[in-house]
Structure 1
Amino acid sequence: MFSAFLPTKIVFGEGSIEKLSSLAKNLGTKALLVTGKKSTKKTGLLDRVIDLLKRVGIESIVYDKIQPNPINDDVDEAAQIAIRERVEFVVGLGGGSAIDSAKAIAITAAMGGKFWEYVPVGGGKKPTKALPVIAIPTTHGTGTEADPFAVITNPRTNEKVGIGYDVIFPKFSIVDPALMTTLPKDQTAYTSMDAFYHSLEAFLNIDANVYSDILAIDSMKRIVANLQTAFDHPDNMYARTNLAWASTEAGITETLTGVIANHAIEHGLSGFNPQLAHGLGLCITGPYLLEYMFDECYERLSTLAREIFNIQEFDVRKSARLFIEKLYEFQENFKLNPKLSTLGFKEEDLEKIAHVAFNTMKGVVTKSPKKLGEEDLLQVIKRAF
């Protein structure tokens, strides 16, 4: 048995950004545009969005301080601006960090107080309302345009926490692959593999179902088939379109089932080292976690060996082993298998990282096919170190 609640209207395809005016015109006359510090300005997208809103009489207030691993301080500051300026809806423009921040701001501006009051390890209050959110992703990775989740870091406690509330499903999401052709090579790989692990973890989640399985498998197949092309030829619209849809599919699978312990581990890692790209962190620890849980998930991995990498091996356990090997090899094509010790992590911090990862993300850890505790997460991190 499973249930599905997917209230977001998704407008997908090349050129779909032009639909913004008609979608936004009934949401109000003043919007808060939430974006990062550079990319949307450099590409001209921010000005384009401001103009599209202006065409239907909507004034834009711009908040452009979002960091790659967004923090609660910025969310609180932007929420106060939203309240003061009496904005009526929020536009998340950029990667997952900008859209996640837009969702967090939408809660805080509508509910009042500080954002951390609405985080399970903070105040734990459940929000009953939020400002409407329009999501306009410029990366093909997080799937946040199709889910009710947001991930925000508290830099004082190193806690990187995911929240999930129905009130922050985007009202509208515009997924335009043409906005993603300016992604640097490393971000093309990082974000694509973020989507891959959303789908892989959803497929292994104990709540996996026929609906999520179909989307998860299709998402992974599209990424494996198209990432190299987009990496080598950034303007290839066929590849970008497939990667964009794979990311949106992955967001839907997250909504239907959810991720597992690999995301908890990565949140612990990048909570301590904000310079670690989320997708890279998932790749570093992902194969080690699969090996650690092998006895509990090898049958599912064998299915993926056949479906994703076309491995025709009768022995189920051997087939599953080959899937892990092929995944590692695929990641190596994009240099996504470094050791944590080469990225500034210190051995003496590993226990604290595992503790924070388990404490803040226990909800997804418990959805893993193997029963895992804090010590298990530490063992996986040590293998990746």
Structure 2
Amino acid sequence: MIGALNYKTVAKTHDFRMPENVKIGRNSFFSIHEDIRNLNPTKIIFVSDKGLKNAGVVEEVINELSIHNIPIEEFTNIVGEPDFEIVQEAIDFIQKHHGDLVIGLGGGSALDVAKASAALVNKEPIIVEKILAGEAVPEAKGVTCILVPTTSGTGSEVTMNAIFGDHKNDVKRGIVSPYYLPDIAIIDPVLTVSCPPMVSAASGVDAFTHAIESYVSKKATPLTKMYAEAAMKRFSKNISKVVFNGSDLDAREEMSWVSFLAGVSLANAGVGAVHALAYPLGGKYNIAHGVANALLLPYVFNVTGKTCIDEMVQIADFLHLGDFRDEPHQAQNAVVDYLYGLLEALNLPKSLKELHVVEDDLRNLAIEASKVSRLLDNTPFKLNMESIHEIYQNAYDGTLN
């Protein structure tokens, strides 16, 4: 059997990565005590955002962790969408306080800062500078990291990606490495109950974006599609419930599964053009990542869905839109109409004009988006600068041509 193998033939191997330890379920947060006892750190660095700090959540959690009598230092300078400068601040903070365990609590912004800084601490400054500039990748992990999400959407707690603002180029840019995966992810739906309706809507559709884009991506495998399918099926039944009845813990738990399942699929199959077009909007206009993704979804798939009709038929089935096996080309229209209807149903913006994007900026946005080759190359439709500009124009006008 071995003799039949030819080492000169390029192997087609699919890596599949996720955190070594994932804990998901109601009140799973309290399992962190066992993790801290097992890890036995000498100094904990607690990373969160100012919103959770001002709401008293940070103090409540730190009081819970204080039973271990381990010194805890807070890093809560994160406001809104993070940039590369705040990551460097966090790295410096961890090194200054000699932290050997980073615990990140919050939405995608806090979790991205926590996992990136935990991975890049204790490295030569010139190496960190190159990594944050996208010119290098880490070759080893810095310190141990535990991530605890308080929203259901970004999937940051199970992905190798972290997204930050690049002010020099007015874009958002992702950095990717297995070393950004946390050592432990704790996904407790109880922590998401206080998430406000707008955040629940944007983060929830962000998770769906991960699922649908990774499902049709060029790097998709049967394993990643299994995760994405499960996420999409749960999403359609629960997104409205968490937006309009946030105390529905059953729906919150289901959306936690959506975020986790879609995040795992994203981490291994990648995403595509929706994210590529969202990055410049976040960089120039500070539009929240989930809002940008949600708005762009119908306009992008109105174009890119043409080359993945079989997947559109399957997705229409997952979303309970009907059986299109006998008329597969109608499936794309059904899916796009569903995505557009989501915006209205969840009170999300339906056009870039509503977000005060300047029409004269659309061409420059298209130029920047066309540079995100890592994501565009993973999209089952060849988009160029002109076709991207047309998508932006339709999104600006709020029309599906």
In the superposition, the TM-score normalised over structure 2's length comes to 0.91
List alignment gaps of at least 5 residues for structure 1. Answer: none
Secondary structure of 1:35 counterpart = strand
1:263 equivalent in structure 2:
275
Seen in structure 2, the aligned counterparts of structure 1 residues 218 and 125 have a Cα distance that, compared at 3 Å, is closer
What is the deviation of 1:278? 1.4
2:320 equivalent in structure 1:
309
Query: 2: CA distance between counterparts of 1:54 and 1:295?
Result: 55
2:306 equivalent in structure 1:
295
Query: 1: CA distance between counterparts of 2:306 and 2:319?
Result: 20
Match of 1:28 among 23, 26, 41: 41
Report matched runs for 1:149-168 at 5 Å: 149-168=161-180
Please give the per-residue CA displacement for 1:216-260, whole angstroms capped at 9, x wherever unaligned: 111111111011111221111100000011101111001120101
Report matched runs for 1:173-212 at 5 Å: 173-212=185-224
Question: Does residue 378 of structure 1 match 2:359?
Answer: no
Stretch deviating more after TM superposition (163-172 or 193-202): 163-172
Aligned residues of 1:110 and 1:129 also touching (Cα < 8 A): no
For the aligned residue pairs, the C-alpha RMSD in angstroms reads: 1.7
Secondary structure of 1:342 counterpart = helix
What is the deviation of 1:47? 2.0
1:341 equivalent in structure 2:
353
Aligned residues of 1:147 and 1:169 also touching (Cα < 8 A): yes
Match of 2:131 among 82, 97, 118: 118
Match of 2:52 among 36, 39, 59: 39
Seen in structure 2, the aligned counterparts of structure 1 residues 125 and 237 have a Cα distance that, compared at 3 Å, is closer
Match of 2:339 among 327, 348, 352: 327
What is the deviation of 1:50? 1.4
Question: Does residue 213 of structure 1 match 2:225?
Answer: yes
- 2:70 maps to amino acid: I
Query: 2: CA distance between counterparts of 1:41 and 1:24?
Result: 25
Secondary structure of 1:110 counterpart = coil
2:8 equivalent in structure 1:
none
Seen in structure 2, the aligned counterparts of structure 1 residues 292 and 134 have a Cα distance that, compared at 3 Å, is same
In the superposition, the TM-score normalised over structure 1's length comes to 0.94
Query: 2: CA distance between counterparts of 1:384 and 1:127?
Result: 40
1:363 equivalent in structure 2:
374
Counting matched residue pairs gives 381
Secondary structure of 1:174 counterpart = strand
Seen in structure 2, the aligned counterparts of structure 1 residues 112 and 31 have a Cα distance that, compared at 3 Å, is farther
Aligned residues of 1:111 and 1:129 also touching (Cα < 8 A): no
- 1:36 maps to amino acid: D
Query: 2: CA distance between counterparts of 1:116 and 1:190?
Result: 32
- 2:316 maps to amino acid: A
Question: Does residue 234 of structure 1 match 2:252?
Answer: no
Aligned residues of 2:295 and 2:343 also touching (Cα < 8 A): no
- 1:104 maps to amino acid: A
1:135 equivalent in structure 2:
147
2:263 equivalent in structure 1:
251
Query: 1: CA distance between counterparts of 2:274 and 2:158?
Result: 21
Seen in structure 2, the aligned counterparts of structure 1 residues 291 and 179 have a Cα distance that, compared at 3 Å, is same
Secondary structure of 1:152 counterpart = strand
Query: 2: CA distance between counterparts of 1:226 and 1:87?
Result: 39
Query: 1: CA distance between counterparts of 2:257 and 2:85?
Result: 32
Secondary structure of 1:162 counterpart = strand
What is the deviation of 1:163? 1.1
What is the deviation of 1:368? 0.2
Please give the per-residue CA displacement for 1:102-125, whole angstroms capped at 9, x wherever unaligned: 122123323242755214x54334
Question: Does residue 57 of structure 1 match 2:57?
Answer: no
Rg larger in 1 or in 2?
2
Query: 2: CA distance between counterparts of 1:363 and 1:326?
Result: 27
What is the deviation of 1:11? 0.9
What is the deviation of 1:309? 2.3
Aligned residues of 2:349 and 2:355 also touching (Cα < 8 A): no
Secondary structure of 1:163 counterpart = strand
Stretch deviating more after TM superposition (335-344 or 316-325): 335-344
Stretch deviating more after TM superposition (63-72 or 344-353): 344-353
Please give the per-residue CA displacement for 1:302-359, whole angstroms capped at 9, x wherever unaligned: 1111121241232000122112112221332012242112212112222222222232
Stretch deviating more after TM superposition (231-240 or 121-130): 121-130
Aligned residues of 1:118 and 1:127 also touching (Cα < 8 A): no
Query: 2: CA distance between counterparts of 1:221 and 1:213?
Result: 12
Query: 2: CA distance between counterparts of 1:349 and 1:27?
Result: 52
Seen in structure 2, the aligned counterparts of structure 1 residues 70 and 116 have a Cα distance that, compared at 3 Å, is farther
List alignment gaps of at least 5 residues for structure 2. Answer: 1-12, 397-401
Please give the per-residue CA displacement for 1:51-96, whole angstroms capped at 9, x wherever unaligned: 2332223221111111221011111112111111111121111000
What is the deviation of 1:188? 0.7
